[in-house]
Structure 1
């Protein structure tokens, strides 16, 4: 089988130069890292791991009618700002303010539901405005038993489970850049979804890996999430 390279894809994560040697997989017209080595990466995922999800679809909506728009399309919405809800298909909705929502696609359908939602939006008379997030924000996932300790080295907000439970959202600063952190822990796997400025993600990736080093952290591919 011919090995895929980043140059084989129309869309590439801004982190692709740092993924040299990794095994890539197709996500539509874009590339994702499937795995970094031939070894099983699930154990790393459970200890301390960082995954690049930047090419998975995401989108935002803002306006007084956004809640009704999303509810009509069978999304379950958080009751308050700075809360999130994982949907039945594993996509995620984070409520960033009274009238603003951020939607993250699921690996299980390679983000198809969220991509279709963005493609189907049309400007009309209702106060529901599309906020494209694919080109503005990069998306990383931090997993494992040490996620709060890692973030404590970069962020002044207390992200330990008692202060930052499952479903909580923090709009804050980490490594001196603005980030959105969402606690999407599932089952026995602690997990933060982290979104940052796309132009700053190379710097932030290195800062994250440096903070993870003390805890034996390492990057892993999406196959570990699907195993």
Structure 2
């Protein structure tokens, strides 16, 4: 499978229709924190946190924080700074008396972006959760199964540019990408490189 580079958000198209695109974001940093003190730790680091599990919030720098449970958070890098901020969170963490434990995700989880007007139709082929915009709003998080693989899905798009981020077991990267491309075929879906997005 071709190694893909990443763009986090798509620039608005001059045409109303957004094509179905798959982009690999796996080279961007991501890291998790879990524990009773994790919320206070992240807030002290300047992050705004979702109020409830299965929600995500966009940060001022373009990164996102997804809340996966009462005490677990996943930080997803901003393309604007090439993930420097999120990478630094992992690098600077040290275990102390706080109940705040690092969960490295760079090697465990692959990360892809599915974008375009047919996002929910593509996902409906592979997933039993309703991911249409009216049911799965901006900032919604689903921990579910897609193509028989456990995944985390985050809606980071908009009404103008639908975008889903999908994280899953990195060992399944080739299989999962193939399943996604097969599901996208009906809609003329294709892989896109970061250079293509920024052209």
Q: Secondary structure at the match of 1:47?
A: coil
1:88 maps to 60
Q: Secondary structure at the match of 2:177?
A: helix
2:171 maps to 199
CA distance in 2, matches of 1:33, 1:126: 35
Deviations 1:71-126 (A, max 9, x none): 00111100000000011111011000000000110111000000001100000000
Distance apart, 1:207 and its partner CA: 0.2
CA distance in 2, matches of 1:73, 1:104: 15
Which aligned runs of 4 or more in structure 1 are off by greater than 4 angstroms?
A: 42-45, 224-227
1:208 maps to 180
Q: Secondary structure at the match of 2:122?
A: helix
1:136 maps to 108
1:54 maps to 26
1:223 maps to 195
TM-score of the pair, normalised by structure 1: 0.81
Structure 2: where are the runs of 5+ without partners?
A: 8-12
CA distance in 2, matches of 1:191, 1:137: 19
1:99 maps to 71
Q: Secondary structure at the match of 2:18?
A: helix
- Of residues 46-55 and 185-194 in structure 1, the stretch that sits farther from structure 2 once superposed is 185-194
Q: Secondary structure at the match of 2:46?
A: coil
**Pairs aligned (count):** 193
Q: Secondary structure at the match of 1:154?
A: coil
Distance apart, 1:163 and its partner CA: 1.1
CA distance in 1, matches of 2:176, 2:74: 21
Distance apart, 1:161 and its partner CA: 1.0
2:10 maps to none
Q: RMSD of the alignment, in Å?
A: 1.9
Q: Secondary structure at the match of 2:50?
A: coil
CA distance in 2, matches of 1:84, 1:224: 28
Q: Secondary structure at the match of 2:60?
A: coil
Deviations 1:149-176 (A, max 9, x none): 0000000011111111110000000000
Q: Secondary structure at the match of 1:71?
A: helix
Q: Secondary structure at the match of 1:214?
A: helix
CA distance in 2, matches of 1:43, 1:149: 23
Is 1:118 the counterpart of 2:95 in the alignment? no
Structure 1 residues 212 and 50, CA gap change in structure 2 (3 angstroms):
same
CA distance in 2, matches of 1:148, 1:172: 14
CA distance in 1, matches of 2:195, 2:107: 24
Structure 1 residues 210 and 103, CA gap change in structure 2 (3 angstroms):
same
Is 1:18 the counterpart of 2:5 in the alignment? no
Conserved 8 A contact 2:33-2:72: yes
Which residue, out of 159, 162, 184, partners 1:190? Answer: 162
Where do 1:35-50 residues align within 5 Å? 46-50=18-22
